[in-house]
Structure 1
Amino acid sequence: MVPRFSTLSSLSCESCQLGKHTHVSFPKRLNNQAKSSFKLVHTDVWGPYRTASTLGFQYFVTFIDDYSRCTWLFLMKNRAELFFIFQKFYAEIQTQFNISIRVLRSDNAREYFSAPFTSFMSHHGILHQSSCAHTPQQNGVAECKNRHLVETARTILLHSNVPFRFWGDAVLTACYLINRMPSSVLHDQIPHFLLFPHQPLYFLPPRVFGCTCFVHILTPGQDKLSAKAMKCLFLGYSKLQKGYRCYSLETHRYFISADVTFFEDSPFFSTTSESLSVSEVLPLPIVSPSDVVPPRSLQVYHRRPRVAAPLPFAEAPTDSLPIP
Structure 2
Amino acid sequence: MNKPRNLTTIGFLFPGVGLLAVFIIFPILLTAWVSLNHWSMLTPLSEMNFVGFENYSKIFDQDTFKKALVNTFMYSISNLIVMIPLSLILGLLLYQAALKGTAIVRTFLFLPYIIPSVAVAIVWGYLYSPMYGPFNEILDFFHLPAQQWLGSLDQAMMSLVILNVWQTLGYYVIIVIAGLTEISQDYYEAASIDGANAIQKLFYITIPLLKRSMSFIVIIMTINTLQVFDPIYVLTQGGPANSTTVVSYHMYDTAFNFGNAGQASAMAFILYLVVLLFTILQLRLFKTDY
Report TM bin, short chain: under 0.3
Computing the radius of gyration from Cα coordinates, the structure with the larger value is 1
Report the TM-score when normalising by structure 1.
0.23
Higher strand share: 1
Structure showing the higher helix proportion among its residues: 2
Structure 2 length-normalised TM: 0.25
